[in-house]
Amino acid sequence: MIDNKVALVTGAARGIGAAIANEFARTGHAVTLVDIEDAELKATANKVRRDGDLVYPLQADLRDLEACEEAISKTIKKWGRLDVLVNNAAIHDFHTLRQMTPLSWNAVIHLNLTVPAFLAQYAAREMEPRRGGVIVNVTSIDAHFCKGLAPAYVAAKGGLLSLTYDMATLLARSNIRALAVSPGAVDTALSQDYRDADGQSLTEDLSNLTNDLIPLRRWAQPDEIAKTIRWLASDEASYITGTEITVDGGLSHNNLARSLKRRMHPDEF
């Protein structure tokens, strides 16, 4: 067993997940990176190793719950312990309520809600005998701040948020903390998926619109989400559990575009 704390990060090949893995490695953790994309995962693991040598890339299709259980057991076999689970892996679709099918609904709900639930169960089994651990579920402001575009995603993230509260209440007896981190607009490949009916990218239009609504006037960078998660998993946040930390630049509590406010009060905005 190593002395370093161990973090397992899902969806770690790119975007927020890669940034989370890098942040934990940078701060002295051993890190298991889990993703279905083997080539991207290995490339990310090589980058992460520049900040920390204790890196274990683990290719797995987490849609298979047996693979989820194996990811936990392989992490224990590799490092001898598990201190932090970050449930980051997710998929998104843009089927509206009218368009969705049982297949599309189940795919999103399964990976975004069912998989984190069982990963938490499997991780807690290993954490409880050691009387400590942290589970961080990456949720989304979309659980509160909807668009009418992605009911399965919204439902899954809302469910994951509620699940966080439930697991925090249950696992506190074993000194295991559970937290939800809800990003807003983040500059990742996933944010490039918005397209119009003809398949043309809406990224620039979306960026302009959201930057006008975000009080900090920009999208987050993945490392800003990662640093929040790493801090929440640290002993400095030892009394924080069963809650949601929103990292959205103020977006979800602002409902008027800056451009309109400037027209009303040019010297204020």
Give the active site residue among 56, 122, 153, 194. Answer: 153
Cβ neighbour number for residue 86 with a 10 Å cutoff: 31
Residue 165 is a catalytic residue: no
Active-site residue numbers?
153
